[in-house]
Structure 1
């Protein structure tokens, strides 16, 4: 007992700042020391996770590993430094050692020396350090078998295939081996003795070449195999049929090709997760995949699969499938009604394929469905009214199809976060029930044939931040109610979602400021497959991850009402939308003065009021828009002088042209009707520079805003 106290106090005194362990006081009981766990009055565990102690490994080895009754030691993220080495003495009962998330360095053989010096050690976690900075020396003897059951060397600096081969040559009783997120290059060596191995992760390395026969042939006990995010080529590993106990198999983000080895997969009755995304697999899907009745997640995204979706994909009463990702392939035919047999389905993504026919109403029986995502196909017919039964639905994203008819009443789907039906052939009025959706963050109905006024109920969508109604036949007024969402945005670091924003080059066939699409599982290069690419020439593509969290106090970020027949005045309340970044009211019938309150849009980067009937002068308050990178006030009835403060005088002249009597730089001065050739030459030079600079500024605006802090919904 006194020996344990002495060792702990010696460790404390070796720290740069011993006061961090103020409870380690010899005047109180040992078991009251911070992080100490006891059995029968002796130290059995020590956990100091996340405390910036800044110890050296020598102190840990000398004092803490000498605690004879110690069973587990966790020093995760304590700023532990130094080179790892075998301790002169190690606790006889130590079974678990966690040194992850620190700044330790050394070779792989040094790590193994540490493991073998502690005779009872079963689990060693050295992830997120700098192991491997010293390559393995030639001729280093390998222990007959590693004494460990679990070894985690992920997120280190192992590079050599020789290090990998050295590890794989002596697995012994090892059951868990994690070497993910290193920099191991070369081909994968044969694993000679892996009969005990259950968990094997080689993901996120630089391994390449084919996986030759025999590599995994002895790995009978594997339940988890992850080879994703490497550079493997050729067919899928040929020994998969030997791994009949797999529950997780990930080959995603490689260059595997050929057809899926269905015969091998169907020999895995317990397989729950199958990730094959971002490879070059091809061919059609076999109906035999339905034999994988334990499968919960199937990811086939971004490959070259073709042919129909098998009607037998799910068998009624026996399917466990929860997530089905088939986006960015070449599937044809219709969406089978039998997908309703996937009774547990939560996420379905069929985007960027060549599917046709209608959306089956039977999908309305999938009571757990949260994500129905099928953008960019050739679907037609009505949106089925049966979807109103999906009370768990959060994302309904059906853009770029040929859907017709009216939007069915989905007011019962109160959890809807993202409704995106843009670029279809939908008709009728915009439903008022949308105002009941307090979690709705994104509403995209642009480029359809909606008629009637904008319903004032949209102002009741407390979390709405992206509203795109461009390219319809809407009439009536822009209601002040649309500004009701204005408030403090609640930033959170919750689960991120991949998105893409495609900035349009507006022309007679391409309306609006751009498209916003859910981009999980899509290769950026494959956007060229979208027909709208030819029309809109969206050469400016902004991608990133959205951070989702709203507490019903969001504020509009994107508002596009362009290319409609809206009339009347612009409501001054628009100026209350403090977080608005893109505002497009162009190509309408708006009249009256531009409200000076709009100058309070401090975050606005893109402002388009062109092709309306606005009159009067440009408000001086517009000079305060410091983030403005694009403006278009052309084709109105504006007059007076363009304000010369701020950025308004830096834009090209076409953004002010075709107004009644607007003047001032970059237009001709207000007191002259013409300009000298020299002045015109200088103006042309300024305009060219401005035209280039505002695209650069817009790119900076989007990359900064969307990647770092775009808050748009509730995906907790």
Structure 2
């Protein structure tokens, strides 16, 4: 065993380590600064079974003869280098190869090349972040596959139904490609799925009935062209369906006490009211994003019982009535709180290092077995649309009710929500004064109360908001002096202050 990982070693790939150590079975060169081509030993080496040269600066093409020189490799990780050219077809004829990671290189060519050959033992294929094009082969004879991760390429066409002949498939990620057509109904047969990420493609039609996928924890179908109603869903942890054409009402789980922590349904055509039983149905919810739908009616007081909620975005709907004063009891907790997800029942022992199983074993997270690194939320903060991902969500707290039909005054007790970083009530019909208590929101970075009917003066106490970067009260009925020469307000652009 030779492990030289996580150093600052330079030079060309040290093939001599393999040649001079004939009994070497494990070589880990991860996270160094090796350059040039992948140099293979001059003689056939049968002992080496593990090779990790990821996170270096290796380049040129991956040698086609790797299956001859290193015939007994079962683990190959060449990710995050600068390899180019096409995918070596010889990988498909390595009888013991179980794990292949070539993600985040400059490899191009038809994606079908990744599936050429019998691949008798392949259980994990990571080909993310390359320039593969073409469509998946109609017939995929990979019955042992557990991880199939092809995101961030240029793959098009439909997902073949033969993908459903992978009974052990636990992770399927084809996000950020150009897939189209309908989602195969047979996906419901993939009973071992834990992660299904098809985000950012051109899928159309309805979402298949996946209520039988009892182990599914992460579902992301956002940024497609899916339509119809949201089906009954299994006991998910993260649900992302934003930017589709989905209709119907807010989905409730088949049973109460769901494990959902994130619900992102932004930019669809969902109607009706936000259900009064939402807190009982989703007691662990920390992110609720419903922006850009057709929800109407009053904001139910029951939403205040979501005690772990961090991000609440109800903007751009048709909600009416007053802002519930009970929101103040929520606190919109934004200090660190470990939302752990225990990943169990899935055998990872054969796949020691990869973007996904490192994630699932805690390498990307604060605690063993969390999916938080996969979860990402888009939320408008400092007058721009930002994406928050992973553990930063543990510190993000925001409330956005803008562009609705809300009336009445801003509850004074909003000032007790000390963790708030974003507060947006713009484009409503709110009246009355700006509460002085908002000066207690010491973490507030963005405050937008513009386009309402607020009256009175801008509370001078707001100058104590040292973290504030965006402040807009434009288009109200305010009077008196501005705060432009005091505290943080000195730095603000006049157009932003309003």
Shared fold (TM-score, shorter chain, > 0.5)? yes
The residue aligned with 2:244 is 377
Selected match of 1:334 from 206, 213, 216: 206
Q: CA deviation at 1:209?
A: 0.6
d(CA) in 1 for partners of 2:472, 2:457: 14
Selected match of 1:558 from 398, 418, 421: 398
Q: CA deviation at 1:208?
A: 0.4
Say whether the 8 Å CA contact 1:145–1:170 is kept in structure 2: no
Aligned counterparts, 1:383-532, within 5 A: 383=250, 387-389=252-254, 391=255, 412-436=256-280, 437-486=282-331, 489-490=335-336, 493-494=366-367, 495-501=372-378, 503=380
Which digits, 9 at most, give the CA deviation of each residue in 1:504-526, with x for residues without a partner? xxxxxxxxx79xxxxxxxxxxxx
d(CA) in 1 for partners of 2:135, 2:461: 63
d(CA) in 1 for partners of 2:459, 2:487: 12
d(CA) in 2 for partners of 1:168, 1:432: 70
Aligned counterparts, 1:104-503, within 5 A: 123-131=1-9, 133-135=10-12, 143=19, 146-161=22-37, 164-167=38-41, 169-189=43-63, 190-191=65-66, 192-213=68-89, 215-216=90-91, 218-236=93-111, 237=113, 240-263=116-139, 265-266=140-141, 268-315=142-189, 319-337=191-209, 339-340=210-211, 342=213, 344-360=215-231, 363-364=232-233, 366=234, 368-383=235-250, 387-389=252-254, 391=255, 412-436=256-280, 437-486=282-331, 489-490=335-336, 493-494=366-367, 495-501=372-378, 503=380
Larger radius of gyration: 1
d(CA) in 1 for partners of 2:440, 2:243: 38
Over 3 Å counting, the alpha-carbon distance change for 1:377 and 1:606 in structure 2 is same
Over 3 Å counting, the alpha-carbon distance change for 1:607 and 1:180 in structure 2 is same
Which structure 1 residue ranges, 4+ long, deviate > 6 Å from structure 2?
none
Which digits, 9 at most, give the CA deviation of each residue in 1:417-468, with x for residues without a partner? 2233333444444333234444222223334444443333333322222222
Selected match of 2:389 from 528, 545, 550: 545
d(CA) in 2 for partners of 1:426, 1:238: 40
Secondary structure of the corresponding residue to residue 40 of structure 2: helix
Say whether the 8 Å CA contact 1:560–1:584 is kept in structure 2: yes
Say whether the 8 Å CA contact 1:193–1:218 is kept in structure 2: no
The residue aligned with 2:473 is 633
Over 3 Å counting, the alpha-carbon distance change for 1:374 and 1:454 in structure 2 is closer
Higher relative contact order by CA 8 Å / sep ≥ 6: 1 or 2?
A: 2
The residue aligned with 1:596 is 436
d(CA) in 2 for partners of 1:549, 1:303: 26
Over 3 Å counting, the alpha-carbon distance change for 1:154 and 1:298 in structure 2 is same
Q: Please, which runs of 5 or more residues in structure 2 have no aligned partner?
A: 339-365
The residue aligned with 1:82 is none
d(CA) in 1 for partners of 2:296, 2:93: 66
Task: Tell me the TM-score normalized by structure 1.
Answer: 0.58
The residue aligned with 1:688 is none
Which digits, 9 at most, give the CA deviation of each residue in 1:560-607, with x for residues without a partner? 223334333322212222222222222333333322222222222222
Q: Please, which runs of 5 or more residues in structure 1 have no aligned partner?
A: 1-122, 392-411, 504-512, 515-537, 658-716
Over 3 Å counting, the alpha-carbon distance change for 1:285 and 1:560 in structure 2 is closer
Over 3 Å counting, the alpha-carbon distance change for 1:591 and 1:355 in structure 2 is closer
Secondary structure of the corresponding residue to residue 305 of structure 1: strand
Over 3 Å counting, the alpha-carbon distance change for 1:500 and 1:193 in structure 2 is same
Say how many residue pairs are matched. Answer: 461
Secondary structure of the corresponding residue to residue 357 of structure 1: strand
Say whether the 8 Å CA contact 2:310–2:334 is kept in structure 1: no
Which digits, 9 at most, give the CA deviation of each residue in 1:208-236, with x for residues without a partner? 011344x3365211111111111111124
